[in-house]
Amino acid sequence: MDEQPAYFVKSVEKTFDVLLAFTAENPRLTVTQVASKADMTRASARRFLLTLTDLGYLRADGAHFELTPRALSIGQSYLTNLTLPKVAEPHLKSLASGLNETTSLCILDGTDVVYVACVPSPRLLSVSISVGTRFPAWATSMGRVLLAALSEQELLAYFDSVHLQRFTERSIGSVAQLRSEIDTARAKGWAMVSQELEEGLRGVAVPVWRGHDVVAAVNVSLQTHRAPAEAIEKTVVPLLQETARQIGADYGGLSMEAPRVAGRH
């Protein structure tokens, strides 16, 4: 083990070792159990436990100790500032660097998608999109994966309110066609839209899960000459999915399962 710097306070490290010994699987621990988990003597564990109890971070119940609500105060300031764009940004930067393309995070707002985070491609000539940009959800890959996560009732309400228009000759022209694309996105877990919003532009997106809910979509914007459509599923989608998983995990999500209520954030 590397030698600790001169400023290092060992007792602080041990204090957190004791606190982190308590988990969802083991919320109540004895002195002996804490000593084992924190790699310290039983006598030392007892002193740390009693001190933390006096400070209000633990409570004693017979031979067992458990965390109190005051322990939440340690991470409260971090949680207060935990926003989805802030969580996503480092992951989007990594993805943009790896793909050499523009990456972004979008949410569903009414009938539109809204960009809440965006990292431009490192290339000089790249797709330029800024935070706050809005596009019709139906015409974008992000919108289709977010619409795919809506309940049937919400989706029907969306179809009643949506106005389809031709941005290019490839744009979807009917609700039935759109429904089919949304169903496909739901089945595959990702969506690709090629030159339906703008000529020469292709978008690929996957949902970001937080537990059972879809909270956003991660997108890569590519110029069509940069990558053939048939190669994207193998080269781009897996990287998008891993990025979405990391964002969801950092944002407090533990699993990627079928959505219960989506488009909520």
The sign of the torsion formed by the CA atoms of 170, 175, 180, 184 equals: positive
- The per-residue pLDDT string of the chain (265 residues; one tens digit each, 9 = 90 and over) reads 467 888 999 999 999 999 999 987 889 999 999 999 999 999 999 999 999 999 999 999 999 999 998 887 887 666 566 688 889 999 999 998 888 888 999 999 888 898 888 888 776 555 567 788 888 999 999 999 999 999 999 999 999 888 888 888 888 888 999 999 999 999 999 999 988 877 878 889 999 998 888 999 999 988 776 666 677 888 889 999 999 999 998 887 654 443 333 343 3
- Ordered by where they begin, the domains of the chain are 10-76 (1.10.10.10), 82-250 (3.30.450.40)
pTM of the model: 0.66
Decide if 98 contacts 122 (C-beta within 8 A). Answer: no
Q: Bridge-partner residues for 60, per DSSP? A: 65
